[in-house]
Amino acid sequence: MARIVLGVTAGIAAYKAVSLVRLLVEAGHAVRVVPTEASLEFVGAATWQALTGAPAVTDVFNDSARVDHVALGQEADLIIIAPATADFIARAAAGLGNDLLAAVLLASKSPLIIAPAMHSEMLSHPATQANIATLEARGATVLDSPPGRLTGLDSGPGRMMEAEEIFDYVQHRIKSPPQDLAGRRVVVTAGGTREALDPVRFLGNYSSGKQGFAVAREAVARGAEVALVAANSSLRASAGVRRADVVSAQELREVVEGLAASADVVIQAAAVADFRPANYVPTKVKRADSPERVSLEMVENPDILAEMVAARQPGQVIVGFAAETGDAMASAFDHARSKAMSKGTDLTVANVVSEGQVFGEDNNDVIIFDGSGREVRRALGTKAEVASAIIDEVVSILVR
C-alpha cells in the first residue's frame, strides 16, 4: 500500500480523476485528494471526501498546527497531478507555492507524475512545452496527452489519459521494477513509417507507437540507457529516454544503423513499410492531371531487421515484431512463427492486427517466439504489461 497525494486542477477532465481515485482506493492505497480552489467548480470536495475518507481542502491555513502542506509533501510516497492544467504546470515549473497543492510540491521529494489536460494550442505553446521540459529535468514524469475529443466540438492532442491507463502506470511505478538493465544500452523503434507520394500524400499504416513507447518506458525504468527512434508519433517519451524522430523507412534505417552499433539490445517495434513509391512527384498530383485510374509503381524498402541481424555485435539481443493477419495459407501466428525462424532474431513479438485490432488500442495480446519458432510466452493486458513481459524475456537472454 502506498500513500498517494492526488492533485486535481481546474480542467474539465477532473471527472476522470474520480475514477482514478476509486481505482487507487480499491487497490488498497491511502489517497489524499488536494484540489485547487477552481477545480471544485468541476468536482466538489464532498465527492473527494466520500471516496477517500479524508478531507479535501485547498487552503494552506486549514491545519496550521500540523503545517499541512509540509506534512503531506513529506509523507507521500507518490504525488499525481491529474488533470494538470497549463496554468498549474506553469506554477509548478516556476516553483510557486500560492495554494495548498503547489506548496505540497515544494515540500516534497516524492516521485511526481503529471497528467496534462488542456486544449491543443495550449499544450503546443512554447511556454507550456518549456515548463514541461523544466519539470521533466527535475525528475517528474509527464504522461502522454493523446489526441482525442476535447471540450465542445474540438479534437486534438491535449486529452488527459484515461484513468485506467494512469492507474496501470502508477501500479507499475509503485512496484519498483528491478534494475536488471542497469548499464545496458537499448534502442527501441516505434510508430509507423510514411512513404511520400507527393508533398501532401503518403503511404503509411495505423501504428500509433504506443507499444514501442511502452517498451522504451519499461527499459528506462529498469535502468537502461534508452534511445527511442519514433516514426510519426505524437506520444510523449518518458523522462530519461533519448528520442529521435523520423518519417520514412529510409530515415529510420539511417538512424538505427548509427545507434545499433553500440547497443546491447535493439527492439524493432516500429511498423516499417515494406514498399515505397518508385517515383516521388515533387508537386501535388491533381485530379485534373490524372486519368480516371492511377497506377502506382512500388519498390521494396530495405529489410532493416535483417540488416540489423547481419550486422549484430557479439552478445547483442535483437527483437523483432510481427504484426500479421491470417489468410488462406496460414494463421496470423503461423506467419509470425515462420518470420521468427527466417529473420534470425532472438525474439519475435507477434500479434494479430486484423480488422483494426491492436493499432492505437491501449491493450495488446502477443505471443513471443524465440529464434527457432518456439513459443516462449504469451503476454496479454495493457501495453505497459506487455512491455514488461518483453523486457523480462530480453533480460533472460542477457543473463544466460
Known catalytic residues are 205
Specify the 3-state DSSP secondary structure of 191. strand
Sign of CA dihedral 396, 229, 237, 223: positive
Rounded Cα–Cα distance for residues 307 and 125 (Å): 40
Report yes or no: 115 and 84 within 8 Å, Cβ to Cβ: yes
CA-atom Rg of the chain in angstroms: 23
Report yes or no: 57 and 92 within 8 Å, Cβ to Cβ: no
Q: Any residues with CB less than 8 A from the CB of 320 and at least 6 apart, and which?
A: 268, 305, 339, 340, 343, 345, 347, 348, 349
Half-sphere exposure of 137 (CA within 13 A, CB side): 8
Q: Which amino acid is at 278?
A: A
Instruction: Please name the residue that has the C-alpha cell 523486457.
Output: 391
Rounded Cα–Cα distance for residues 256 and 307 (Å): 10
Cell numbers given for 341: 525462424
Pairing between strand 141-142 and 112-116? parallel
Other Cβ atoms within 10 Å of 83 Cβ, number: 28
Closest CA to 106 of 61, 76, 143: 76
Report yes or no: 400 and 315 within 8 Å, Cβ to Cβ: no
